[in-house]
Structure 1
Amino acid sequence: MYMKHLVEDVDPHKKSITWKLIEGDLLESYNYFNAITSCDYQWTTWTIEYEKKTEDTPEPLIHLGFILDLTKNVDAHLHEK
């Protein structure tokens, strides 16, 4: 799967980052696709914003595994230091 994203916003006070998908396979099925992550103590919250191109387009649940793996990799990296 191919995707190109843009870091749209970084808010150090809220400890959040917003990514906007600007190219890639997901945009064949969705009009827009954004991901927001925020951290609070030991919790990371992901919010996915998207708009389906048609009602028949499935929910992007298959991509949650990727987000979980990404979160685990970041966590492992941060605990190395």
Structure 2
Amino acid sequence: MYMKQLIEAVDPHKKLIKWKVIEGDLLELYNYCNFTTSCEREWTTWTIEYEKKTEDTPEPLLHLGVILAMTMDIENHLLKK
């Protein structure tokens, strides 16, 4: 799978980053797809905003596994001593 994204916003005070998908496989299924991550204490929250091109288009659940793996990799990196 291929995805090219653009960072739309970074807010270090809220610990928030927002990405907009501008190219790739996701845009074949969805009119738009945006990802937002924010952190509060030991919690990371991911939000996915999207619009399906058709009613038969599946939810982007496959991508949640990629997001979870990436979050765990970042956590492991940050917790290394």
Pick the TM interval, shorter chain: over 0.9
Count residues with an aligned counterpart: 81
Give 1:32 deviation, angstroms: 0.4
Deviation beyond 2 Å, 4+ runs, structure 1: none
Distance 1:61 1:48 in 2: 10
How much is the aligned-residue C-alpha RMSD, in angstroms?
A: 0.8
Q: Could you tell me which runs of 5 or more consecutive residues in structure 1 were left unpaired when the two chains were aligned.
A: none
Q: Secondary structure at the match of 1:63?
A: helix
- Normalising by structure 1, we get a TM-score of 0.96
1:4-51 deviation line (CA, Å, top 9, x unaligned): 001110011111000110000000000000000000000000000000
What letter corresponds to residue 26 of structure 2 in structure 1? L
- Normalising by structure 2, we get a TM-score of 0.96
Q: Could you tell me which runs of 5 or more consecutive residues in structure 2 were left unpaired when the two chains were aligned.
A: none
Give 1:80 deviation, angstroms: 1.9
Q: Output aligned runs, 1:38-53, within 5 Å.
A: 38-53=38-53
